[in-house]
Amino acid sequence: MKALILVGGFGTRLRPLTFTKPKPLVDFANRPMILHQIEALAKIGVTDVVLAVNYQPQAMLVAMAEVEEKFNIKIHFSIESEPLGTAGPIALARDILAKNDAPFFVLNSDVICEFPFEEMIAFHKAHGKEGTLMTTPVEDPTKYGVVVLKEGTSQIDRFVEKPKEYVGNHINAGIYIFNPSMIKRISPKPTSIEKEVFPFMAQDGQLFATPLEGFWADVGQPKDFLTGSALYLASVHTKTPDILKVGDGIVGNVLVDPSCEIGPNCVIGPNVVLGPKTKIGAGVRIANAVVMEGSVVRDNAYIKDSIVGWSSSVGKWSRLENITVLGEDVHISDEVFVNGACVLPHKSVSASVRTQGVIIM
C-alpha cells in the first residue's frame, strides 16, 4: 500500500519552533510529529510514503533516511515548484500512487489522532467506491465546512461551508483513502481537494464518510498543539498508561523522558510533556505545557499553557503563561514574567513582557 502526507511549506503557523526545525520534525509527545503518522502507516503494511513538500531541507533527508531503515519503508520526496494546494500533490505523485490498483492514503501532516487505518480500509473496500474520508464531530460547526450525508447512509451528499443553520456537526478530519482511479480527476496544478474535487466526487456518488473514533486534533499552531498534546495524553492514559509518569508531585497525565531530571518539591501536570535531557529545578510548577529536549527550568519557575523549545532555559522564579512559545536556544532571566509572547530562536529575555501577542525578535 501507499500513502501521501501533505507536508507543505515552512510551517509558519507553528513559528518560532519551525524557524530552526522543519515542521514534520517538531517534537510532539517527544517524537517527531510526522513519525506518529508514518509508524501507524507502516503497521498496516504501507510500503511507500510520499512527502509532498514545497522545499526539501537537509534535516528532513537525514531524518527520513533513519525512518526508512527503522520501519522498512520507502519515503519519496515530491517537491512542488509552486504550492499545489491539497489536491495537486496527488497528481504530481501519480507514478507512485497509481503504480498498482491498491488504494492509497492521503493525510494532512498536522493531524494527530489514533489513526484507525485498518478499520478505514475495511470500510472503504466494503462500499467499493472511489473515496473515503474520515470525519470528526465539533462543538461549533459554524466555523467549519460540514459533511452532510444522504439520509440513512454513509454516502456524502454535499458539503456546507460554515453553515448558519444546523445541518450536522461532522467535519473533514484530513484523513482520506482513495482508489487510484480518482487521480484522473486532478491535474498537477494548484487545486483544493475540498472545493474542487470532493464536491464532484460526491455528486457522482463516489465519496463516502466514516466517523473517526477517539480524539482528533490539528496541531499546526501553538494553542492547538497544546490542546492536541492534552488529548493525546488522555488517549495514552486509556490505552498504555504505564508510559505515563506517576508519583509525588505528579498531577494528571504527564509524559516524561527517562533522561529528564526533576528536582524536589515540584508539581508537574496535568497535561505536561518533558523531553529528553531536560532538567527541572526544585519547587517548579508546570501545567499544560511542553518542555523540549535539552531545556532547563530553574528553581521555583512557573510554566503554564506554554511551549519551551529545544535547548532553552527559564530562570529562577520566572513565569511563562498564556501561550508563550520559546524558540530554540531562548534564555529567560530570573524573575521575569512572559505573558503570551513569541520569542524567536537564540534570544535572551531579561525584562518582563506583560502584553500578550508580543513577538521578540
Q: Provide the annotated active-site residues.
A: 162
The Cα 118–Cα 28 span in angstroms is 23
The helix (run of H) or strand (run of E) holding residue 122 is helix 117-127
User: Pairing mode, if any, of strands 331-332 and 313-314?
Assistant: parallel
Task: Provide CB contacts within 8 A for 302, sequence distance 6+.
Answer: 284, 285, 286, 318, 319, 320, 321
The Cα 145–Cα 160 span in angstroms is 5
The three cell numbers locating residue 302: 512557573
The Cα 161–Cα 203 span in angstroms is 16
End-to-end CA distance of the chain: 45
The Cα 340–Cα 343 span in angstroms is 10
CA–CA–CA angle 5, 6, 11 (5° rounding): 125
The Cα 308–Cα 337 span in angstroms is 14
The Cα 351–Cα 326 span in angstroms is 15
